[in-house]
Amino acid sequence: MPPAVGPERVYGLELAGEDDAFAAREAACAATAVEPVAPGLATARGVDADRLRTLAYTHRASRLLGRCEAAVEAARALVAAATMDRSGTVAVRARDVRGTAGVDTRRTERELGAALVDRGFAVDLDDPDHELRACFAGDTCLVGWLVAESVRDYGDRKPTDRPFFQPGSMAPLDARAFVNLAGAEPGATILDPMCGTGGTLIEAGLVGARPVGIDAQRKMVRGARENCRAYLDGAFHALRGDATALPLVDDAVDGVVFDAPYGRQSKIARHTLADLVSGALAEAARVAPRAVIVADRSWTEAAEGAGWTVVDTFERRVHRSLTRHVHLLVRA
């Protein structure tokens, strides 16, 4: 039986999406020493299986038997030579990640299954005790025992299916990634000072955080409350307010995440867009030690002027006319 997850082990991560750097950054919320090693694959140490199940851009984590070249023969030799217990039933699952390795995955499953039978295992494809995963990408193969798999239920929360919908609502998959990067976890308090329809509040609540939402529009606050009640069992707060003058004491929350207005003036008549975002960044730095800001342009200069250190940025293409700029900030 594969041993329990622990910091002394090396793990293979199967990343989701096409931006491996962004996926690896989110994976670091649930693992240490995350390092992309091939298209769609990374290695890590110290995986927290419970946290990994909440990630948006990681599919699975496996405790590695080893790493080899992207060839069936090499993977079989690795399995034949690896140290492992000889108890329980197994199934083998092989992937050619993004079609980059050109490997016959069915043949791989047969060959590795035969190697495991030679090691004393019984094969059970329907309900195995253990699942061995062989992931090929480029010239690399990672082979390991599955220990955690993320929950892929984002289609159940499509913005158009929520009780309250407004065009431009963020997809749940991205909202989950952004709240994770802002520090959402059980017991943490996450603030969205421009919460809109409440998508980030829902995702923060579903990972066990305490979500707090503020919006300048009364209609949005009512809609965010309605949406949160539909998806969350735990407590949440949504209230009307100004992102540049938050009704919160210093260091009131653990993280801030907000999606800045795109290419238009703010709905708060007395603010220009630049004043709104700069003011919101300054207030965020007052109430939290970290933040994730999403926008249609770079706000790096404004973030630094508001007292933040920009630790990373990503450009994520949504469609032909929109690329999101994601800023990861820690208080200077």
Domain count, the chain: 2
Token pair listed for 45 = 């140490």
pTM above 0.85, yes or no: yes
Angstrom distance (rounded) from CA 305 to CA 3: 48
26/172 same-domain check: no
- Write the CATH number for 40: 3.30.2130.30
Q: Give, in order, the Cα–Cα distances in Å from 95 to each of 19, 36, 178.
A: 18, 17, 28
161/141 same-domain check: no
Q: Residue 267 pLDDT > 70, yes or no? A: no
- Domain boundary, last residue among 114, 149, 184: 149
Domain membership of residue 322 (yes or no) is yes
101/177 same-domain check: no
- Write the CATH number for 215: 3.40.50.150
90/163 same-domain check: no
Q: Residue 4 pLDDT > 90, yes or no? A: no
186/113 same-domain check: no
Domain membership of residue 195 (yes or no) is yes
50/162 same-domain check: no
Q: Compute the CA torsion angle 180, 160, 261, 248 (nearest 10 deg).
A: -50
Look at residue 270 in the predicted model and tell me its pLDDT: 62
Q: How confident is the model at residue 3 (pLDDT cuts 50, 70, 90)?
A: very low
* Closest-CA residue to 254 (of 309, 190, 203, 303): 190
Domain membership of residue 104 (yes or no) is yes
40/136 same-domain check: yes
Least confident of 65-74, 270-279, 286-295: 270-279
317, 323 Cβ separation under 8 angstroms: yes
Mean pLDDT value across residues 297-308 = 97
- Domain boundary, last residue among 126, 149, 172: 149
Angstrom distance (rounded) from CA 167 to CA 91: 44
Angstrom distance (rounded) from CA 258 to CA 299: 12
Mean pLDDT value across residues 252-270 = 78
Mean pLDDT, the chain, whole residue set: 94
Tell me the pLDDT tens digit for each residue of 184-219. Answer: 999 999 999 999 999 999 999 999 999 999 999 999
Domain membership of residue 3 (yes or no) is no
17/159 same-domain check: no
Residue range(s) defining the domain that contains residue 83: 10-149
171/304 same-domain check: yes
Tell me the pLDDT tens digit for each residue of 78-100. Answer: 999 998 876 789 999 999 999 99
- Domain boundary, last residue among 149, 165, 191: 149
CA atoms within 13 Å, Cβ hemisphere of 251? 1
Domain membership of residue 266 (yes or no) is yes
Q: Residue 296 pLDDT > 90, yes or no? A: yes
Look at residue 262 in the predicted model and tell me its pLDDT: 84
Least confident of 1-10, 67-76, 264-273: 1-10
Angstrom distance (rounded) from CA 296 to CA 45: 34
User: How many C-beta neighbours within 10 Å does residue 305 have?
Assistant: 12
Q: Residue 1 pLDDT > 50, yes or no? A: no
Token pair listed for 300 = 């790096």
Look at residue 151 in the predicted model and tell me its pLDDT: 98
Tell me the pLDDT tens digit for each residue of 230-248. Answer: 999 989 999 999 999 999 9
144/159 same-domain check: no
165/298 same-domain check: yes
Domain membership of residue 2 (yes or no) is no
The amino acid occupying position 177 is A
56/189 same-domain check: no
